Structure 1
Amino acid sequence: MKTITKSEVAVTTALFLLISSLVLILLLSGCTYERIEGNNHLTNEMRNSDPFDEVISFGDFQVNILPDSVTTLEIKAESNILPYLYTISDGSTLRIGYRNGFNIHAHFPVEVIVHTPHARILRLQGSGSIKCNGFNEPDVKLYLSGSGSMNCGFSAGSLKAEIAGSGEMELSGSVTSSDFRISGSGNIQSLEMPQKSCSANISGSGDVYVAASEQLDVHISGSGNVYYSGEPQISSSISGSGKVKKY
């Protein structure tokens, strides 16, 4: 039986690493994105859409959602950017984003104005913004991932709002109960949204501001704080330096 020497093992290992590196370089070279530079020519485009009650925005768009009896979309952007912006509805969810394979460099913010009878679930991923006012829904769910912002005003029975990252939520209107969750340094400001009961769960350094009249349940892991107004019964479970404070 032939004995494999240490030098042969070293050569084999070196060849393997060299081949792996070459393969990786070839793969990465095929993943370059075409750069699309905005032409500074702002224009409006109207788009039709199937009905939906959920909106997902991927990117740095300024999305403004307005209550209406019909479902239409208005896009404000540079004319050569518009073809690369998709707005797709599958009958329940509207998705807004840029087509894959392109590096879009817009000189002006891209604004998407959404007219819809319902807005029950809103998701923002990235550094953009979502504004939503005037809706009356039985339950609402808000999800923010990244550094973006959401400014929403509505009436609802129940509200679930989650932040993962450094994003900001500013909420107004009225709800019966809420479930707030923060993972990271984001903040939820809801002092202008009176409610009977609230459950606030913070993991990290983010803060929750809430107006609760009957019950406030707090779970904090980290340095985040819960600031409250009203006279609710309070139950708390805290590990870290976070606190529950009267506002």
Structure 2
Amino acid sequence: MKTTAIAFFMLLFASVSVFAQKELVTGSGTLKKESRSASSFKSISTSGSFNVYITPGSGSNIEIEADDNLLPYIVTDVENGELQLHVKKGYNIKPTQKITVNVSMAEVKSLAASGSGGFYSKGTLKGDKVELGISGSVIIDMDLKAEKLEIGVSGSTKIALKGNVTKVEYGISGSASVDALALQSESVEVAVSGSGDLAVFAEKKLDISISGGAKVRYKGNPSINQSSSGSAKVTKID
């Protein structure tokens, strides 16, 4: 399995944190929307608790809804085609409600998140090779059309996928839950450790490597190459 991107994200999120005293800013309770201009981006990375809603379309529009006094502490930078969402250095924020970020993207290349929050599609997102790198307690709910999808997950992430992707690769550790029965795929590769629970659709080929108490359920009639240890289970869904 080619897991270069997955390995990159896992190393990124496993890096050692440096603890420092930060000023806490509590939300006012008054929500406000703020539009921000940005250069074009095909990738998004978040650090913190941001709920990102992605609409397919031209342009790279950004709209943030949060407590009005927290908006100045929410940073939106674009570097090398990647939108980076994070809290201003030296501060922690405590919102009274979920922070919502609405963006539009003509094409998706990669999405990465650490912490909490999530990525949600509002329509079918398109890309050639799409990479997802997730760490923490993140929710993913997406409709995708792509040639290839690579997913690297650690933690208790919940993922729901639908659409059409020719080849999908999953690298899962921890207690992640994946429901991709509605994601039509020809070839699927699964590598799971821990107590992950995956449900996938594979039309032609399914490669599985699982350990621990992981569970993999699948639909379709693929040829199967399986390696498992511990109490891991693989089950076909009729």
**How does the TM-score come out when normalised to structure 2?**
0.89
State the Cα distance separating 1:118 from its structure 2 match.
Answer: 1.7
Q: Is the CA contact 1:50–1:91 (under 8 Å) kept in the aligned structure 2?
A: no
What letter matches 2:191 in structure 1? N
Structure possessing the higher radius of gyration over alpha carbons: 1
Q: 1: CA distance between counterparts of 2:80 and 2:134?
A: 22
Q: 2: CA distance between counterparts of 1:142 and 1:103?
A: 26
What letter matches 2:132 in structure 1? L
What is the DSSP-based 3-state SS (H/G/I as helix, E as strand, rest coil) of the residue aligned with 1:128?
Answer: strand
1:192 has 2:182 as partner: yes
Count of equivalent residues: 218
Q: 2: CA distance between counterparts of 1:157 and 1:118?
A: 13
**Which of 72, 77, 84 is 1:83 aligned to?**
72
What is the DSSP-based 3-state SS (H/G/I as helix, E as strand, rest coil) of the residue aligned with 2:127?
Answer: strand
Match of 2:173 in 1: 183
1:6-45 aligned at under 5 Å gives the runs 31-45=20-34
1:152 has 2:142 as partner: yes
1:73 has 2:47 as partner: no
Identity rate of aligned residues, in percent? 33
Q: 2: CA distance between counterparts of 1:152 and 1:140?
A: 12
**Which of 211, 218, 231 is 1:228 aligned to?**
218
State the Cα distance separating 1:69 from its structure 2 match.
Answer: 1.0
1:94 has 2:83 as partner: yes
Higher helix fraction (1 or 2): 1
State the Cα distance separating 1:221 from its structure 2 match.
Answer: 1.5
State the Cα distance separating 1:32 from its structure 2 match.
Answer: 2.4
State the Cα distance separating 1:162 from its structure 2 match.
Answer: 1.6
**Which of 195, 201, 206 is 2:191 aligned to?**
201
Q: Is the CA contact 2:194–2:214 (under 8 Å) kept in the aligned structure 1?
A: yes
- Unpaired runs of 5+ residues, structure 1, are 1-27
- Unpaired runs of 5+ residues, structure 2, are 1-18
What is the DSSP-based 3-state SS (H/G/I as helix, E as strand, rest coil) of the residue aligned with 1:59?
Answer: strand
**Which of 38, 43, 59 is 1:54 aligned to?**
43
Q: Is the CA contact 2:144–2:162 (under 8 Å) kept in the aligned structure 1?
A: yes
